[in-house]
Amino acid sequence: MIIPYSKQSISKSDIKAVTKVLRSDYLTQGPKVLEFENRINKFVKSRFSVAVNSATSGLHLACLALGLKKGDWLWTSVNSFVASANCGLYCGAKIDLLDIDINDYNISINLLEKKLEEAKKNNKLPKIIIPVHFAGRPCKMREIFRLSKKYHFKIIEDASHALGAKINNKKIGACNFSSMTVFSFHPVKNITTAEGGIVTTNNKFLANKLKILRTHGINKNKKKFLTKNPPPWFFEQVDLGFNYRMNDLEGALGISQLVKLNFFIKKRNQIANFYQKKLKDLPIILPSKDKNILNCYHLFPIRINIENSKKIRLKLFNFFKKKNIFVNVHYIPIHYHPYYAKMGFKRKDYPNLEKYYGSVMSLPIFPDIKKTQLEKIIKYLKIFFKKHKK
C-alpha cells in the first residue's frame, strides 16, 4: 500500500453532512456557507469571515480589497506555493521575494528589515507583504507588524497551512497583526472542503468589499442601491468581481471537518513528536521548536545534514518511492519556476533558501497515518542512513 505525504481524513459524519445538503434546496452558496463562516469566526476569534472557492481566490480578493494595483509592489516568501505571489500579479502589481530564516523556514525578519530599508531609499516600498505560515508554523507576526507600522505596508497572512496554529495562545486568523488572513481547505490541508478557502478579518469595510468581489461585484443590499426606486427584483453590479463563491456542499463538509480539527492537530503533533524522538540520532535536521507557538504540522520538513545533501536527497526520494512511500519537497522556490525566473530573480540573493531547498524533504504526516506506516518510514530512513553517513 502506498503511503502518501498527506491525505484528507473523511468520516461517515462528513459524508452524511454533504449528502444532507444534496437533498436540500441549496447547492450553491446558502445557509451552510454562512454557518461555516460563523463557526470559523468563533474558532479563530475573528469578527468577519468570507468563504471562497480556494485560498488562491481568497488571496486575490484580499489584494483587491486593499487596493493593490499596477505599479504597486507585493512581497512574499520565496518558500511558498506560487499562489502566494500570483495574487499580486493578478492585480497588475510587481512581485519581490523574501529569503527565509534557516531556523523556522518562514521569512527572515532581519533580512526583511534590511530589504525594507533599501527599498525606502529607492522609493520601492511594498504596499502589501504576505507572510506565509509555512508547514503550519506561525511567522513572527509581532515583528512583521512592527515593521508594517514603520514602513507603511499592509499585511495579508497566507495561513493556507495554519488553521488551528497559535502564537502566544492566540489563533492564527484572529488578525491581531494583519488586515486579513487566508486559509486553504484543499484536501491535504488541516481540514478540507475539497476545494475551498476563507478570508478572515476584523475590518467591516474589507469584509463587505470581499463579499461583493466574490460574487461578480454585485450588491444585493437594497439600502445601499445607487438606483432610485428600484423594482423588487433589482440588484446592482457596483464593481468588477468574480464568481469565487464556496457552495453549500463544501460549507457543510467544512462544518463537519471543523468539529474534528482539534483532534487532527493533536494527532499531527503526536506524529511530529514520534518522528522527533525516533529520528534524533540520524544526520537530519528536524523542525525546531518554540514554546510560544502551537505548530499544527501541515507538513513535516526534514533537512539532510550531510555533505552533498542534494544528491543524497534525490537518492532517498527514489529509495522511498521504490518502497511505495511518496515523500515530497516543499516548495520548489517561486523564482525557480520559468514564469518567475524570467523576471530576473537571482538565486544568489536567497542564500538561506538555497541551503534549505538543497536538503529538504517532507515526510508523510496526516491524521489517519497508521503507527505501522510510521514505523516503516523510520525503518527505511535508518537503513538508508546506515549507508549514507556524514
Ligand X SMILES: Cc1ncc(COP(=O)(O)O)c(C=O)c1O
**Minimum CB distance to ligand X, residue 134 (Å):** 7
Q: In what order do the strands lie in the sheet with 284-285?
A: 284-285, 300-304, 360-363
Please report, as residue ranges, which positions from 118 to 157 form the binding site for ligand X (by CB under 6 A).
132
**Minimum CB distance to ligand X, residue 92 (Å):** 20
* Cβ distance to ligand X smaller for residue 162 or 381: 162
**Minimum CB distance to ligand X, residue 107 (Å):** 12
Query: Of 158-166, 235-243, 268-276, 300-308, which part binds ligand X (CB under 6 A)?
Result: 158-166
**Minimum CB distance to ligand X, residue 159 (Å):** 8
* 359: its cell numbers: 536538503
99 and 45 Cβ atoms separated by less than 8 Å: no
**Minimum CB distance to ligand X, residue 87 (Å):** 9
**Minimum CB distance to ligand X, residue 375 (Å):** 28
Give the span between the Cα atoms of 201 and 49, in whole angstroms.
Answer: 6
Phi-psi region of 170 (alpha: psi -120 to 50; beta: other; left: phi over 0): beta
Q: Is the peptide bond before 105 cis (omega within 30 degrees of 0)?
A: no
CB environment 289-300: b (16+ within 10 A), e (fewer): eeeebbbbbbbb
* Cβ distance to ligand X smaller for residue 55 or 175: 55
Please report, as residue ranges, which positions from 187 to 216 form the binding site for ligand X (by CB under 6 A).
197
Q: Which of 171, 186, 245, 335 binds ligand X (CB under 6 A)?
A: 186
**Minimum CB distance to ligand X, residue 158 (Å):** 5
* Cβ distance to ligand X smaller for residue 130 or 282: 130
Q: Which of 6, 84, 190, 192 binds ligand X (CB under 6 A)?
A: 84
Number of residues written out for the chain? 390
Sign of the torsion angle spanned by Cα atoms 357, 358, 363, 364: positive
What contacts 80, CB < 8 A, 6 or more positions away? 132, 134, 158, 331, 334
**Minimum CB distance to ligand X, residue 385 (Å):** 29
* Cβ distance to ligand X smaller for residue 161 or 313: 161
Closest CA to 273 of 191, 362, 374: 374
Per-residue x/- track, 1-40, ligand X (CB under 6 A):
----------------------------------------
Per-residue x/- track, 214-253, ligand X (CB under 6 A):
----------------------------------------
287 and 101 Cβ atoms separated by less than 8 Å: no
Per-residue x/- track, 44-83, ligand X (CB under 6 A):
----------xxx-----------------------xx-x
DSSP assignments along 246-305, one per residue:
PPHHHHHHHHHHHTTHHHHHHHHHHHHHHHHHHHTTSSEEPPP--TTEE---S-EEEEE-
Q: How many residues bind ligand X (CB under 6 A)?
A: 14
Q: Which of 101, 158, 248, 250 binds ligand X (CB under 6 A)?
A: 158
**Minimum CB distance to ligand X, residue 143 (Å):** 20
160 is a contact residue toward ligand X (CB under 6 A): yes
Closest CA to 356 of 326, 380, 325, 332: 332
Give the span between the Cα atoms of 63 and 66, in whole angstroms.
Answer: 5
* Cβ distance to ligand X smaller for residue 63 or 374: 63
Side-chain half-sphere exposure of 145, counting CA atoms within 13 A: 11
Using CB under 6 A as the criterion, which residues of the chain lie in contact with ligand X when the complex forms? 54-56, 80-81, 83-84, 132, 158, 160-161, 184, 186, 197
